[in-house]
Structure 1
Amino acid sequence: MAVSMVVLASRPADWTQEQFTTWWRGPHAAAARVLPGLAAYRHGVVTKDYDNPAEPGWDGHAVLTFADQAGLDAAFASPEWAAATRQTKGMGGRRIILITEEVDLLMEGADV
């Protein structure tokens, strides 16, 4: 079963959303893209926060998908992971990181 790391993040206080997105899709994506076993890597920019439309609490999300938990564990243990996470130290934004087991609910006969 596919396993994903889902990250919801807000930018550092002194960055615009555009700066944060440019960094995330640029140098940070380049560092994450080389993680061993990475099967899919998606990023989204928050365009509306339904719970707080006047002041969105989040700026973006990423989903990094691996074939299984062993693949994710191998990525976490890799020097590539260490390099990618070094970029985020001391940035000052907020984040939530979740590990999920995924099922494609659009696939015919998907396990639910």
Structure 2
Amino acid sequence: MSISMVVLAKRPSEMTHEQFTTWWRGPHAAAAKVLPGLIAYRHGAVFKDYDSPDAPAWDGHAVLTFANRAAFDAALASPEWAAATRQTKGMGGKRIIVVTEEIDLLADGADG
């Protein structure tokens, strides 16, 4: 079963949504893409927030997927992880991070 780290983030107050998205998809993505064992990395920029349509509570999300827990644990223990997380220290904003055991509910034979 694959393991995904799901990050929901709000930009620091001194950045625009566009600046935050550019940073996340640029320098931060470059640091994260090299994580050992990473098999998928997706980012979404929020363009509509159904719960807060006038002032979106979040700017984007990322999903980093690993084949299994051992691969995930190895990535978190790596120097690449340390380098990627250093970029966010003291940045401000806010985030929610959850780690999930994930299945594809559209895949043949998926059991919900």
TM range (shorter): over 0.9
Inter-partner Cα distance in structure 2 for 1:14 and 1:60: 16
Amino acid in structure 2 at the alignment position of 1:103: I
Q: Are residues 1:34 and 2:34 paired?
A: yes
Q: Which residue of 2 aligns with 1:4?
A: 4
Amino acid in structure 2 at the alignment position of 1:34: V
Q: Which residue of 2 aligns with 1:87?
A: 87
Query: When the two structures are superposed, what TM-score results if normalisation uses the length of structure 1?
Result: 0.99
Inter-partner Cα distance in structure 2 for 1:7 and 1:57: 14
Amino acid in structure 2 at the alignment position of 1:10: K
Amino acid in structure 2 at the alignment position of 1:66: F
Inter-partner Cα distance in structure 2 for 1:71 and 1:47: 32
Q: Which residue of 1 aligns with 2:73?
A: 73
Aligned residues: 112
Q: CA deviation at 1:109?
A: 1.1
Inter-partner Cα distance in structure 2 for 1:43 and 1:6: 10
Structure 2, unmatched stretches of 5+, are none
Q: Are residues 1:103 and 2:103 paired?
A: yes
Amino acid in structure 1 at the alignment position of 2:85: T
Inter-partner Cα distance in structure 2 for 1:70 and 1:97: 19
Inter-partner Cα distance in structure 2 for 1:81 and 1:109: 34
Amino acid in structure 1 at the alignment position of 2:82: A
1:100 match: secondary structure:
strand
Q: Which residue of 2 aligns with 1:59?
A: 59
Q: CA deviation at 1:75?
A: 0.3
Structure 1, unmatched stretches of 5+, are none
Query: When the two structures are superposed, what TM-score results if normalisation uses the length of structure 2?
Result: 0.99
Amino acid in structure 2 at the alignment position of 1:5: M
Q: Which residue of 1 aligns with 2:43?
A: 43
Q: Calculate the aligned-residue CA RMSD, in Å.
A: 0.5
